[in-house]
Chain A
Amino acid sequence: MNGIAEGTVETVFVALQAARGVKATKAGYGTKSAVKSITPVLFGELVHYVHGTASVDESKVRAAISRDLVLRRQFYSLLESSRVATAPSQAQAASGEPLVQRKTRAFTLVFKPSRANADQIYVLLTVHAESGMADGHRPVIIASLSSEVGRLQFPPLKDQSAQLLLEVEDKRLVIVQNADAELSLI
């Protein structure tokens, strides 16, 4: 027909259709009735979540880690190779009360209620020589508890320490103070 190679036209047609599929979600037009699905959490987001090197959607990352086994494995592999120290789960017969301190050879984490406001708690991180961390570094503490994770991103270290002020009910605080949670320092 018209001396044109049908097979070749078909190849181009199929590629154009696929390109249309990819663009359809990019432009957003014509998908009024379609629900836009949430983009998956990619490796890069896990990296930045662990290292604190870029801003990520924390709740999206945490939800994906607890829901997706493959991603969770990837997260733990990354955590293990990136961290410089850990505070293992203290599975002691505790009273179930939140801890006031976690101490290891590399770092110490202290939880101190604010005197000015009973609903707030100071979280003080002090790093020791064994951590190998220098002033100016922005440390991250990751708390992991079965399939749940939480993260505390501290400001730059000054005189080997840094602090955060959090609400008592802050989910991140709850998991970090849990004796069963394993802590990692990055």
Chain B
Amino acid sequence: MSLALYGVSAELIDAIDGLREAPGISGPKYRQNDIDNLSQMILCRNYGKATLELSYLLLATLMGKSSEKGIAQGSFQSAFQDTTQKVWLNFFWLEESITPKRFRAAFTDIPEPVAPYLQLNEQGLTIRLSNSDFTLSPTRIATLASLLEFLVYVDPAVLQQDGLFEQGEGLFPSKCESTVKTLASNLQQKLYQYLADHLQPAQQQRRFRHLWTWLGEYHKGEGKEDRLAINDDVIIRFWKQATEGDEDSLGFRRYRTVAENFFDLRVAIQCVDARKNVTHSMDIELPPEVLQQVLTTSDVDGIDVNALTRMPKFLTKQQAETYQPIVEVGDTASVMALTIMRMRCFGDWQASLVQALRSKSNDHLKELLSEEKQVLTYSAYHEEITQLQMLSEHASDSGFHVLLHCQMSEAFGLVLQRLSDVDLNNVRGVLSISADGEPSALFTETVILAQWPDLLLRVPVLNQLVQQFQKAFKANNRQGFKVLTDNMDCDAYMEGVQLLDRVLQRCDKHLQGLNESCEVEFCSDLSIFKSGFIALYGDRL
């Protein structure tokens, strides 16, 4: 299913999810960033450099464990004739030497005879071979470890490389480079073969061509200059046409799918345009490394709203789910706000129709098609989002109460930013007076902290704000907001209020982009969607 929908097999998606949940000796083994990095590497097929780095790392672990006897004979030979599997099992799983600290610790006692070939320095671990040096950065090790774990999943025999590293007789320094390159090449081959089965973009390529052609023809027909413009109108017209067709091999009957595809197309066009401006060329190649960079940059706009549902719990899972489609699409939420709203109101309706179809309950289907009142209206949507924002502001207020309790200095500055200009001037006035009447005194965060009680007395608006925070905290019964203790994780609350602020701002922009869509617009859209659904599903009744 996911292979057709996204070009990625369910098995590959599950393997990546499995890595996210991988247990470690002190909590989860990998950070979200490590696995995000790995998954982008895999999806962009950008594993050439990483497999080479990994191969050097695997060599370094064997060198670091070389026995004295082996070295005396001029070769690197693992202590006690350990197999490569044993050495790597120990390094990557039992001791988990994959954080910068543990990695460095693992290489502090390099046997003296190995020292000319393996050195720990400021940049990391340098492997000195006859023709070249290679330095491994400690911050890369976790990503490389996750790549190794993925490779083991693809082929469990990956850890058994005794033949290649000649664990019997020992590996001579002069042969190290070719060994590393052979290993890297083998690993790349394994990935290539695996991805041939699990990354199949044929359907996505067909979709692209269809959208691209349609877009060009549509704008040409409208006499438009910009043949690649994508907006709310384009999306709904495309979908409407798709409902009138007989077959749906590309999955364009679902309004949500159409919208998502156009969002991706728009981002793809923007990325390539941006790249064109950098390279000043029309013909731009996108080698895997560049493709991954492009993907990472486009991802920067996304906000991980689920982080706010963990401890301290600023949002419930349901609230995060409501925010998700607004915050995960970057500026699309404001540029194509109407489509986002339509995806929610009519996309949900379509989902329940499809569900009724699947369960073959025709009566239910008929009921759903005629019961328009169960569709979320635009005013109700507006109201829902506004209400959610208000609740989130209370959550944020609770967070500030905790931060003020922790006396976190950055928080005081953030609180003052919420005052009007007039009140802020009053604050400045009070601070100047307190700083021995020096009007040019610098208002550092620590000064603010020191003068805080005074400020509360002299600036009533500030005092009211602080009272508001306290009230919000007392009314908040979620995890992390029940009691104040002496050793609260202030950083988590700070990250939370800052993230929540970004979410609220994104939401504001989205609502502004809706241009106060009203009942009239909803009625007109309702009839468009209803006739579309009847065209799609009406004959099942």
Contacts and interface: CB of A to CB of B under 8 A. Distances in A.
B25 A54 contact: yes
Interface in A1-20: 1-6, 8-20
B212 A27 contact: no
B5 to A, nearest CB: 7
A17 B272 contact: no
A26 interface: yes
A15 B282 contact: no
B272 A74 contact: no
A12 B22 contact: no
A56 interface: yes
A37 B227 contact: no
B40 interface: yes
Nearest to A73: B156
A1 B83 CA distance: 58
A51 interface: yes
A186 to B, nearest CB: 11
A16 B264 contact: yes
Contacts of B458: none
A12 B325 contact: no
Given A14-B201, A19-B43, A54-B25, A24 B208 contact: no
Interface residues of A, dominant DSSP: helix
Contacts of A21: 2, 5-8, 13
A14 B271 CA distance: 13
A49 to B, nearest CB: 10
A47 interface: yes
Interface stretch (B86-94, B332-340, B431-439, B477-485): B86-94
B16 A22 contact: yes
Nearest to A38: B14
A161 to B, nearest CB: 24
Contacts of A42: 15, 18-19, 22, 149, 152-153
Interface residues of B, number: 80
A132 interface: no
Interface stretch (A28-36, A91-99, A138-146, A176-184): A28-36
Interface string B289-327: 001001100110000001000000000000001001100
A27 B305 CA distance: 9
Contacts of B8: 18, 21-22
B216 interface: yes
A44 B295 contact: no
Nearest to B256: A30
A43 B14 contact: no
Interface in A124-182: none
A117 interface: no
Given A10-B205, A22-B8, A29-B321, A40 B20 contact: no
A73 B155 CA distance: 12
Contacts of B267: 12, 16
A48 B295 contact: no
Interface string B262-290: 00110111011101100000111110000
A20 B43 CA distance: 11
A11 to B, nearest CB: 5
Contacts of B291: 11-12, 15
A68 to B, nearest CB: 11
Q: What range describes how many residues of A lie at the interface?
A: 35 or more
Interface string A39-64: 11111110110010111100000000
A4 B23 contact: no
Interface in B8-42: 8, 10-11, 13-25, 29, 39-40
B294 A12 contact: yes
Interface string B39-54: 1100110000000000
Nearest to A37: B14
A19 B216 CA distance: 26
A3 B280 CA distance: 12
A66 interface: no
Given A19-B295, A37-B14, A42-B18, A54 B286 contact: no
Given A13-B264, A47-B94, A5 B284 contact: yes
B328 interface: yes
A17 B6 contact: yes
Contacts of A116: none
B165 to A, nearest CB: 16
Among A1, A3, A21, A51, the one with the most B-chain Cβ atoms within 10 Å of its Cβ is A21
Nearest to A54: B23
7 contacts: A4-B273, A9-B269, A12-B291, A14-B7, A21-B6, A27-B306, A27-B324
**Top 8 nearest A-B pairs by Cβ distance?**
A21-B6, A39-B18, A12-B268, A13-B268, A21-B8, A16-B264, A54-B23, A14-B201
Interface of B: 1-2, 5-8, 10-11, 13-25, 29, 39-40, 43-44, 83, 85-86, 89, 93-94, 149, 152-153, 156, 199, 201, 204-205, 207-209, 212, 216, 226-228, 256, 260-261, 264-265, 267-269, 271-273, 275-276, 282-286, 291, 294-295, 298-299, 306, 321, 324-325, 328, 351, 354-355, 358
Given A9-B272, A39-B14, A42-B152, 11 more contacts: A8-B286, A9-B212, A13-B265, A16-B298, A18-B201, A21-B8, A37-B10, A43-B156, A44-B23, A44-B24, A44-B29
